[in-house]
A and B are shown apart, each in its own frame.
Chain A
Amino acid sequence: MSGTYLGMPAFPEAAAVSTQNAQLRANLSHATRTIRDKRAAAVAELTDWPELRQSGREIKDHTLRHLDRYLLQLEEAVTAAGGTVHWAADAEEANRIVADLVKATGEREVVKVKSMATQEIGLNEALAAEGITAYETDLAELIVQLADDRPSHILVPAIHRNRTEIRDIFADRMATWGRPAPEDLTDSPAHLAEAARLHLREKFLRAKVAVSGANFMIADTGTLVVVESEGNGRMCLTLPETLISVVGIEKVLPTWNDLEVFLQLLPRSSTAERMNPYTSLWTGTTAGDGPRHFHLVLLDNGRTDTLADEVGRQALRCIRCSACLNVCPVYERAGGHAYGSVYPGPIGAILTPQLRGTASEVDASLPYASTLCGACYDACPVAIDIPEVLVHLRERVAEQGTGHRAERAALRAATWLLDHPAAYTAATRAAVGTRRLHPRRLPLPGPAKAWSDTRDLPAMPEQTFRDWWKKNRGEGKTAR
């Protein structure tokens, strides 16, 4: 499998292939169910989840609607704290900025902490073309990189690989990238993690330059925030002399205290933890502690096009938690690779065609990669109405004339899913299971209250239609 997304088939063809892969389907179905169940429990712990979700949504919307102001404020704060801010209009420009910064240090190697923005722009490949090797240090990203593969999930990028495959990848490939895997490597996760620890520690201890993304940037303080579990983030963010962070312009939040909302929403939605093991926060540079040089590359690359679409711009609220992937019946069967971009699942289906436009066949097919069951909207911690944006983008694709072809192909793919009712039923039932967590009313005080008090949000039904039918009309009626 090649490391590039270029020349990817459109979603329907890719999905038709990946749904035949029994290993992939078994891994995915186990993974998405496990995460989904754990997440529901973590979310249920917070009785004010609907209010947190509403605040998260409003903070993000407010920021996006005044994005120029907050980016300028951020630039000023980062600069005052000793950092340097660069602006990149597209992928090519961002890659050139990073490559030039690395070359200016005289180094030929960089360590990287998992960053979707740098995957989106193809940074590793661009650096390789300049003779610079980028080492991914997240365990899953290491697996993907060693295997010359692509990530398939936002949170667990190597979820399509099982432990035996990972053992073989480490045994075969580690030596060509640095310290070889131990001779007696087994497929126990602890043993594999230990091999990765030894392999990567050598790189961390000698690295002079690191590249990261960021989960959040704080406009009023200039602080960047990276959320992670393994400590590879801390290694990259604190040991090297030069740190280069490539971050999408939509990741800014107005104030320091806004973190209290997002650091409650993100870990629970993502890994179903009360808090992820490590969160690193830094503001520019600090004398005697951490990198001496800090560069922030602010990335547009299609985000302003997305912002220009009044319906579609809500996709920029996304905090990349992956909750929508884990509840999506289409993702569960098709896997992340079928979406043909670094952003898989429901969010990918609306973000990718907006970032890249809908000119290509793969991008035009993405708005059809959904059953519109709505589970993604219910799961989303910042309440992105993914079905609304999907329908909106379908209109756009239809207007440009490619609609019929994309739609026909997508319907063929959907037919497969609907021919496998067990999968579909399980998926829709999971969505209903979380219904009591959904806000009934928008908690709007002041004059808006009169409006919201008379309008209920659409409620999830207590049962799926299928369950209702089975119970009330179906064969099983008397049996249960």
Chain B
Amino acid sequence: MSSSRERVLARIRAALADVPATEDRPVHRDYLPTHIPEDRPGLLAVLAENLADYRAVVHRGTEADLPELIARLLGERGSTSVAVPADLPAAWLGAVTGVRVVTDSPAVTPGDLDAVGTVITGCALAVAETGTIVLDAGPAQGRRLLTLVPDHHVCVVRGDQVVASLPRALPLLDPTRPQTWISGPSATSDIELDRVEGVHGPRCLEVVLIE
């Protein structure tokens, strides 16, 4: 194995014989740090618009509205079971009754989650310009599989978690954490380019934007 390593490296070095060893060509980064103004109401509006454009369902509200809103979304969906990260703020489920709650832990298997109707999480941050929500298994997010297996994902985004663009987002993210970036629900265009929501990931993504 190590012999192939040496072989490939030797081939690379031979192939680059024309490149001076000390070469240090600058990479120009004249692109824009963002394409939109960065005032908070503006960012939320662009995020909401772009998420909706991907056919995610967007709700706006305050922290105080959250328990009622979550209870309503579960009811509308007819979910009788809900998966949550262990550190989901307890208040979020404050108005939910008669629903089985599966709390994330290493004992919860993909098979268990396959029987769950809805998953509720927070997020690490959201990118307005691209309509993207980033999960990094941090606070109120749980393991990656939590937001993958159930068919309905309710994701809560606080206003102060919204940034304008990818150049704003990447420095805030920790590459050592596993990340899932979500831009709308699962989708495919593989059959005659007809867009269909959902093959494997959640087919319904509902985002709650907290002002």
Residues of chain A touching chain B, judged by Cβ–Cβ distance below 8 Å, are 27, 30-31, 34-35, 45-48, 51-52, 54-55, 58-59, 61-62, 65-68, 71-72, 81, 86-89, 93, 97, 137-140, 143, 156-159, 162-163, 166, 189-190, 192-193, 196-197, 200-201, 204-205, 218, 221, 223, 229-232, 234-235, 238-239, 249, 256-257, 259-261, 263-264, 267, 271, 273-283, 286, 288-290, 298, 300, 304-305, 307-308, 310, 313, 443-446
Contacts and interface: CB of A to CB of B under 8 A. Distances in A.
B183 A275 contact: yes
Given A30-B193, A52-B31, A156-B190, A234 B180 contact: yes
Interface in B13-59: 13-16, 18-19, 23, 25-32, 35, 50, 53-54
B129 interface: yes
B35 A189 contact: no
A286 B170 contact: no
A87 B4 contact: yes
A58 B114 CA distance: 45
B144 A65 contact: no
Interface in B103-143: 106, 110-111, 114, 127, 129-132, 137, 143
A230 B110 CA distance: 18
Contact of B201 (A81, A278, A444): A278
Nearest to A52: B31
Contact of B175 (A34, A197, A281, A443): A281
A193 B175 contact: no
A445 B9 contact: no
Nearest to B203: A197
Interface string B1-19: 1001101110111111011
A193 B114 CA distance: 18
A249 B192 contact: no
Contacts of B110: 204-205, 239
B177 A286 contact: yes
A399 B130 CA distance: 49
Contacts, number: 255
Contacts of B32: 47-48, 51
Nearest to A27: B192
A204 B109 CA distance: 12
B182 interface: yes
Given A30-B192, A59-B27, A139-B188, 17 more contacts: A31-B193, A54-B28, A55-B29, A55-B31, A65-B16, A87-B4, A97-B1, A139-B190, A189-B194, A232-B199, A249-B12, A264-B31, A264-B166, A273-B54, A274-B183, A280-B180, A313-B15
A147 B194 CA distance: 20
A47 B111 CA distance: 46
Given A68-B9, A300-B11, A275 B106 contact: no
B90 interface: no
A443 B28 contact: yes
Contact of A205 (B5, B23, B114): B114
Nearest to A262: B166
A156 B190 CA distance: 6
A477 B32 CA distance: 44
Contacts of B16: 65-68, 307
A306 to B, nearest CB: 8
Contact of B183 (A143, A231, A276, A281): A276
B4 A71 contact: no
Contact of A235 (B127, B148, B167): B148
Interface in B188-202: 188-194, 196, 198-202
B65 to A, nearest CB: 27
Contacts of A275: 127, 130-132, 181, 183
Contact of A231 (B14, B19, B148, B196): B148
A290 B29 contact: no
Most buried by B among A196, A260, A300: A260
Contacts of B53: 274
A474 B27 CA distance: 47
Nearest to B179: A281
A193 B189 contact: no
A274 B193 contact: no
Contacts of B186: 229-231, 277-278
Contact of B4 (A34, A54, A89): A89
Interface string B151-189: 000000000000001110111010111111111111111
B201 A51 contact: no
Contact of B28 (A89, A274, A310, A445): A445
A298 B131 CA distance: 33
Contacts of B11: 89, 300, 304-305, 308
A300 B19 contact: no
Contacts of B95: none
B99 interface: no
Contact of A273 (B169, B183, B190): B183
B175 A277 contact: no
B188 A230 contact: yes
Contacts of B176: 81, 221, 283
A197 B199 contact: yes
Interface in B61-104: none
A320 B167 CA distance: 22
B26 to A, nearest CB: 7
Contact of A88 (B4, B130, B177): B4
Given A234-B200, A446-B26, A263 B13 contact: no
B201 A231 contact: yes
B192 A140 contact: no
Contacts of B173: 256
Given A197-B199, A277-B186, A189 B181 contact: no
Nearest to A196: B199
B192 A163 contact: yes
A66 B127 CA distance: 32
Most buried by A among B26, B30, B167, B199: B199
A89 B193 contact: no
A305 B114 CA distance: 47
B25 A62 contact: yes
A34 B173 CA distance: 35
A156 B12 contact: no
Instruction: Please give me the 4 A-B residue pairs with the lowest Cβ-Cβ distance, nearest first.
Output: A231-B201, A231-B200, A308-B15, A304-B11
